[in-house]
Every structure is written in C-alpha cells, then in structure tokens.
C-alpha cells in the first residue's frame, strides 16, 4: 500500500500494530527525553529555570490571507520603531492561506523578521472536510501551500516550518505523519482547555510520546512523532469569570477597555506566575474594530515601555529558546533572537502625524501609573483618545 493511499483508519491501525496508539509510555525529562530534540511539556520550564530567570515570551499569531488592508494593520502594530529589550523589532507569526493573499506583502513581512507559516490552500468548508481528509488531500493543502509561499513570496522552504489547520480542526495521525515526513518543525492545531487560576499554563511539548492530554477536538493523533513540536492553542482568560476563548476574536470585547483587559489580564497572570509562554491567537479581521486595534496598540506601548524582560517573538524563536533555554542574564547574546539579517523598506509618514507609523507613549506618562496600578483597570475611552497618541 502506497503512503498516499492510506486512510486515517489504516494509519491508526498501523500505529497500534507497531505498539503505539494508547500505550505511548511515560515521558521523563532528562531521562528518556532530552533537549534540544525532546521535551515533555507540562508546567515546568525548560532547563528548570526559575520564573525570575525566564524572559516572558509573548507570541501573537494571525490566521488567514495577507491582504493590503491586513498588511496595513500589521504595519501599524509591528512598526519598525517598536523594539524588544535586545534592540530587535517585535515580531509575530502569520499562518497564511492562499486565497486572496498578496505574496509581495508576505515577502515584506518575512524580510522584516515575521514568521510565515502554513494555513492551507483552500481553507475550505465544512470543517468535517479537515476531520475526514485523506493523505492526498492534506498533502495538497499543506505541502502545496508551502511551495506556493516559497515560489511567490521568496520565503525559503527551510524557513516555513509551522502548520495550523483551518478552524483548529485536527486530522489525526494523517496530519502528523505528513508534517513529519515533509520536515515541518511544529503543529499548532490541538487545543488545551481552561485551567482555573491561569497561573501555571503548560509549555509546548514534542510528540516523542504522543499527545497525552485530553482530546478536545477529534481526531487527535494516536502515534509518536519524535522531534515534532506541538504548540497547542491555549485558552485566554476573560475577566474573572473563569471562562475563556481560544481565538481572541471569540472573546468579543465590545469596548476598548474590555479589549485591553483581555490582553492585560492574561499577561499579568503569566508574568507574575510561572512565566510560561503567552500566546494570543486571532484572525486579523478582528482588528477592523477600532476599539480592538487601539487596545492592542496600547498594550504594545505599555509593555515595551515598562517591562524590560518581556519579548514579542515568533513561534520559531520561541521554540529556539525552548531547545536552548537561556536565562535573562545571557539573553542579549542569544543568537536566534538577533536581527542583523533583517532587511527593511524605508518607512514613510503615511498619515502626516510625524511618527512614521510609530506611536508615542510620552503623552501618557502623567497618567499611566495611576491607571496601571489599579486592578481591575478603570479607565475610559476618553482617557486614551485624549492623552495617548495611538496612531
């Protein structure tokens, strides 16, 4: 039987035949699992670092097409003047689907240090397609889209290492078999449910011992995939209700205050807790709502000005740190986070505000301490519009 002809059931039966499936064994970090190729996951940091030694990593990821409108949003949020503590620009990961994407803009994002990952050719509906997809169908959606990005955006295949399934609908072992056979570094499709307190989120794991958590969306993989990372989508906390949402746009804040609190509460709980990685997953269409765009913009300004141990990085940069956990005392020398290789087009003052797309926070100085020292956050849209130059 050729691999392209295998069905989900046949791959699953084959895994059971070779002793995989349910009995995947127990992962022991620094025992039968060692960095950089294997990590058990869980709530303990790589390298057994204390929270105070860990840079708080924040990863923003955006799904779907890159259009002119979306690119302008990215330009405002991730403008060249917004720098991590090591002097390099803040970055994000975009999971790109083919339809409606302008690949010249994808090339520009890549040259500025953002990560380009794969999100399918068709993004087709219904969601049951992805649940039941054959090997051939998935190969077209995953491998072909990687080739399309490489050919049209000039992004080397070796730099396109991540996949996220549309609708966060996994395709079981076919998906992971195909990803591993085609040299992908990680998947970001599986989900983790809300944990009360949100103070000790899980770190991503490799699939050397399979997926050993609850399967929230069937079908999850049964098999082992050594060296393949799973960067699960974790729920964001919404206020103090104990509820959560996987995509930020599913939280549906109705005001700038609510949107800012979504970002701030989740950051606060990670930063003052275990410093586990914080992931914000969203569709860029969410930023069409002005209150969401302003809230995220202000979140960036606040973190970058007041926190010198927080880094906005890509999924690839995050995994590079996990493979080689580097304490804050040495982080300025951490090569995967350096930016000497980046190339930029000249920035222009498109809106005539004199800031070349870089927002200022100086006008907020007299008021920020009062606002940010109050928790929950009591502030109004009038405050932001009057005192903070947002863009």
Task: Give the residues across from 64 on adjacent strands.
Answer: none
pLDDT at 40 over 50: yes
Task: Band the pLDDT of 240: cuts 50, 70, 90.
Answer: low
**Res 223: pLDDT:** 97
Q: How far apart are the first and last CA of the chain?
A: 58
- What SS3 class is residue 282? strand
Mean per-residue pLDDT for 112-127?
98
Asked, as a colleague might, if the bond just before 376 is cis with ω within 30 of 0, I would say: yes
Task: Band the pLDDT of 226: cuts 50, 70, 90.
Answer: very high
CA distance 215 to 174: 16
287-325 CB burial, b ≥16 within 10 A, e <16? bebebbbbbbbbbbbbbbeeeeebbbbbbbbbbbbbbeb
| pLDDT per position as a tens digit, 179-223 | 999 999 999 999 997 665 544 589 999 999 999 999 999 999 999
Contact 107, 153 (CB under 8 A): yes
* pTM (2 d.p.): 0.86
CA distance 73 to 65: 13
Count of Cβ atoms closer than 10 Å to residue 284 Cβ:
20
We find that the CATH architecture of domain 52-387 is Alpha-Beta Barrel (3.20)
| pLDDT per position as a tens digit, 248-296 | 999 999 999 999 999 999 999 999 999 999 999 999 999 999 999 999 9
| pLDDT per position as a tens digit, 58-68 | 999 999 999 99
pLDDT at 107 over 80: yes
**Res 220: pLDDT:** 97
């Amino acid at each position: 039987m050729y691999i392209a002809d295998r069905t989900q059931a046949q791959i699953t039966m084959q895994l059971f035949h070779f002793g995989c499936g349910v009995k995947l064994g127990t992962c022991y970090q620094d025992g039968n699992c060692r960095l950089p190729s294997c990590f058990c996951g869980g709530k303990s940091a790589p390298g057994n670092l204390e929270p105070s030694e860990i840079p708080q990593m924040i990863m923003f990821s955006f799904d779907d097409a890159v259009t002119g409108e979306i690119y302008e949003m990215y330009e405002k949020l991730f403008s060249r003047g917004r720098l991590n503590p090591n002097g390099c620009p803040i970055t994000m990961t975009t999971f790109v689907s083919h339809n409606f994407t302008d690949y010249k803009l994808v090339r520009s994002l890549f040259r500025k240090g953002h990560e380009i990952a794969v999100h399918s050719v068709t993004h087709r509906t219904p969601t049951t397609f992805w649940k039941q997809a054959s090997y051939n169908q998935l190969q077209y959606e995953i491998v072909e889209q990687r080739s399309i990005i490489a050919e049209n955006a000039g992004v080397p295949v070796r730099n396109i290492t991540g996949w996220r399934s549309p609708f966060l609908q996994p395709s079981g072992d076919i998906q992971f078999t195909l990803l591993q056979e085609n040299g992908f570094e990680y998947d970001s499709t599986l989900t983790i449910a809300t944990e009360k307190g949100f103070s000790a989120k899980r770190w991503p794991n490799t699939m050397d011992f399979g997926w050993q958590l609850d399967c929230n969306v069937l079908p999850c993989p049964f098999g082992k995939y050594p060296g393949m990372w799973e960067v699960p989508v974790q729920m964001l906390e919404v206020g103090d209700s104990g509820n959560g949402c996987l995509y930020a746009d599913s939280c549906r804040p109705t005001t700038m205050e609510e949107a800012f609190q979504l970002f701030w509460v989740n950051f606060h709980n990670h930063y003052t807790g275990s410093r586990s990685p914080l992931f914000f997953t969203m569709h860029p269409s969410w930023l069409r709502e002005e209150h969401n765009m302003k809230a995220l913009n202000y979140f960036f300004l606040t973190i970058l000005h007041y926190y010198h141990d927080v880094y906005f990085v890509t999924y690839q940069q995050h995994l590079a740190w996990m493979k080689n956990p580097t304490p804050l005392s040495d982080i300025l020398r951490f090569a995967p986070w350096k930016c000497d290789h980046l190339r930029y087009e000249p920035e222009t003052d498109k809106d005539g505000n004199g800031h070349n797309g870089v927002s200022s926070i100086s006008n907020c100085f007299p008021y920020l301490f009062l606002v940010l020292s109050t928790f929950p956050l009591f502030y109004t849209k009038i405050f932001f519009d009057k005192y903070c130059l947002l863009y």
